Copies of this chain bind each other. A is one copy, B any other.
Amino acid sequence: MNISKNQLKLITSLSQKKYRQKHNLFIVEGVKVVNEFLNSNFQLHTLFHTNKFVNEDIDKDKLVCISDTDLKKVSNLKNPNTVLGLFKIPEQNKINDKGFVLVLDAINDPGNLGTIIRLCDWFGIKELICSKDTVDCYNAKVVQASMGSLTRISIHYVDIIEYLAATNLPKFIADMNGENIYKTLLPRDGVLVMGNEANGVSDEVKELVNNSISIPRFGDTQETESLNVATATAILLSEFRRGLD
C-alpha cells in the first residue's frame, strides 16, 4: 500500500498543535524512538516506512510503504530515517499528587521541554505538570528531544495555579534571588516549579509558594545572566535526588 495525498496532507498538518488536537495524533520519527513507542502503552495509528523497517508484530493494516522522496517531504528531521509513525494522543491521566512532582510555568522552547522530560525519566520523576501555555509535549521537536522518555512520564496540562493551591506537598520555586540550594534542607517529596526562559516564574505562582531556591554563581563577573532552564533543572533535580541514593 502506498501513501495517498490525503495521508501526506494529514502528516504535514500535524506540525500544528490545532491539527494534532483535531486528529488526536502526533508524529514519532526514527527507528529507535518509534520502537520505544511501539513497546509502550501508546497506540499506533499508522506507520509509514521506506520498506526497510521490519516489525512482525504490527498489524498490516497500519503499515504504509512510502518512498524516500515522500518521507523527506514530511519529515521534521534533517536526515530522515526510514520510519515515521502516527500515534494516538492518550487521554490525560489524573495527577498522582505524591512523591516528587515537577511543574513547568510557561516553558516555550521545545528543546528545553524535551531535555526536561528526559531528565524526569533519569531521576525517576513520574509526574510532570505543565501550565497551559507551556509548549505542547506532542510537538515533533519535543518528541525527538525527549528520546522516548515521553513514554515513561505522565504529563498533565492544567491550570498550575489551581494545582499549586490544592497540593499538600512542600513547594519550591527556582528563582535567581532564592536561597542557596546547596545549603537548603530538601525534602524527599515535594513540588519544584521551573519558570519561563525569559521571565522566570510568574508572580501569581510566587504568591503561592513559600520556598525559593537558586544555584549560586561561582564566576567573579555578574555578567552571566542566568543558566539555561534545562541545565538549571538538571542541577536542581540532582540536588533533590542526591541524598536519596
Contacts and interface: CB of A to CB of B under 8 A. Distances in A.
Q: How many copies does the complex hold?
A: 2
Interface string A210-238: 00000111111101110110111011001
Interface residues of A, number: 39
A227 B234 contact: yes
Interface stretch (A84-92, A121-129, A199-207): A121-129
Contact of A124 (B180, B218, B241): B218
A183 B245 contact: yes
Nearest to A121: B224
Contacts of A183: 245
Given A122-B217, A122-B227, A238-B238, 4 more contacts: A118-B227, A149-B224, A215-B238, A218-B244
Interface of A: 36, 111, 115, 118-119, 121-124, 147-149, 152, 180, 182-183, 215-221, 223-225, 227-228, 230-232, 234-235, 238-239, 241-242, 244-245
